[in-house]
Amino acid sequence: MRGPQRHGQHPLLLVAALTLVAVIVLVAVIVVRQDRGDGRDDAPSTSATASSTTGSTAGSTAGSTTGSSGASSGAAIGDADQQRLLANRGGFGGSVTGGAGGRIVHVTSDADSGPGSLRRAVAGSRPTWVVFDQDLTITLTSPIEVGSNTTIDGRGHAVELTGHGVQGLQLEHVSNVIIESLTLHDFGDVAKTSDNDLPDAIHLDGANGVWIDHNDLSMAGDKLIGISEGSTAVTVSWNHFHDQEQTLQIGNQATAAVDRKQTVTVDHNFFDRIGYRAPVVSYGMAHVYDNYYLDWRLYAVRTERLAQVYLENNVFVGSRSKRTVLTSPQGDGCNDARTRCDRRDGLLKAVGNQVTDARKIRDVDGEGVFTPSYDYDAEPAGARLVREIKAGAGPQG
């Protein structure tokens, strides 16, 4: 009886051994698969980085989406970086948030349109924070219509927009837009500036809540920035304006009825050897403070047609012209077509400005000028302010 019992144990031991081996093999396979799975989770991230450089829209990181613009969307700019920028807001546009908290869309192509282009990235009103994956020069063949709730953030790269013969960025009846750290150069035809060639580098029509900050602007057939049709809550800050005749226009006769409500802050800009209109203001309200004016051909600032300009702590250095601030329209006050004429003076309240020669800036009906109701710190006009603006105006690297 024992013999058969001992003989019957061998198959049982063999089965047990085989079972143990199978379990070990199965565990090993599971472990290997898990290792490979971690590798695949990492792979799309590498692919997305590469596609952002090449302009491909394929391969996005887990948890991110590809925006409807066709450009890749990811997490290159986080909330902390957005908040660092937003902490510098001020003036009438101090509540602008742009695309903060929305999708982040990468511009990966220098093409005028199509997948990965700036034009596609800024279309629509969905909150969008647009960034650039590399230095780019984008040549436009037509104006780019910027949608509401958008930030165009050029920080960290050299991003230039150009478009000879056409207009640049168009903000038409949109709200909550930030334009940050771009170079805008050669729009319209500067040879036709005396004829008011229409294209501007940036143009606002009926916009609300716009912050134009730390840009470099030069050479446009009409103005570098034009603001009209009742645009409100606008701040233009820390920009470098140069190589330009007509620089910054706020309001005009054609839209006088709605331009009366315009509110614009112009601060910490470097107006570098421009021609005139830095700014010219018709009908609305403008707070112009802590700017640096180095030479100008006709005049620096003009208020006309009942506009209210609060001119505070600006530095005016040298000029080809003896006129610094004007308070009356040019000539007979008529437009080019002579279909509208308004010769009424503007209002001016001048406080704490510094002029390097014997010229004086005098109030004109200053008691009728608004007082800024928002919080701000105006630095005293002087050498320190000049140094800060020369070092800080223009795109941030």
Residue pLDDT, tens place only, 15-33: 455 455 444 444 343 333 3
Q: Residue 60 domain-assigned? A: no
Q: Residue 100 domain-assigned? A: yes
198 vs 223: CA distance, rounded Å:
8
3-state secondary structure 60-79: CCCCCCCCCCCCCECCCCCH
Q: Residue 360 domain-assigned? A: yes
Same domain, 130 and 255: yes
The chain-wide mean pLDDT, for the chain, equals 84
Same domain, 377 and 256: yes
What is the SS3 assignment for 342?
coil
**Which residues constitute the domain of residue 116?**
66-392
On the question of pLDDT at 205 being above 90, the answer is yes
Same domain, 48 and 94: no
Out of 31, 54, 77, pick the residue that ends a domain: 54
Instruction: Please give the biggest Cα pair distance in the chain.
Output: 131
Q: Express each pLDDT in 37-95 by its tens digit.
A: 323 223 322 222 223 333 333 233 333 333 333 343 444 466 899 999 999 999 999 99
Within 95-149, residue ranges assigned H as helices are: 118-121
Q: Which residues are catalytic?
A: 277
- The confidence score (pLDDT) of residue 77 equals 60
Q: Residue 161 domain-assigned? A: yes
Q: Residue 235 domain-assigned? A: yes
Count of structural domains, the chain: 2
8 Å CB contact between 140 and 377: no
Residues with Cβ < 8 Å from 322, sequence gap 6 or more?
359
Same domain, 129 and 225: yes
Let me know the angle formed at the C-alpha of 157 by 44 and 247, rounded to the nearest 5 degrees. 140
Q: Residue 61 domain-assigned? A: no
262 vs 307: CA distance, rounded Å:
10
**Tokens at 335, concatenated:** 């437009």
What pairs with residue 273 in β-bridges?
none
Task: Name the residue with higher pLDDT: 165 or 17.
Answer: 165
3-state secondary structure 299-335: CCEEEECCCEEEEECCEEECCCCCCCEECCCCCCCEC
Same domain, 72 and 160: yes
- The confidence score (pLDDT) of residue 190 equals 84
On the question of pLDDT at 7 being above 70, the answer is no
| Residue 139 burial (10 A CB sphere; 0-12, 13-18, 19+) | middle
The pTM assigned to this predicted structure is 0.81
Same domain, 140 and 26: no
Q: Residue 397 domain-assigned? A: no
155 vs 204: CA distance, rounded Å:
22
Q: What is the mean pLDDT of residues 359-388?
A: 96
Q: Side-chain half-sphere of 53: how many Cα atoms within 13 Å?
A: 5
**Phi-psi category of 307—alpha, beta or left, where left has phi over 0 and alpha has psi -120 to 50?**
beta
The b-or-e profile of 176-197 (16+ CB within 10 A means b, else e) is bbbbbbbbbbbbbbbeebeeeb
CATH number at residue 275: 2.160.20.10
Same domain, 78 and 33: no
- The confidence score (pLDDT) of residue 84 equals 96
Q: What is the mean pLDDT of residues 92-113?
A: 97
On the question of pLDDT at 331 being above 90, the answer is no
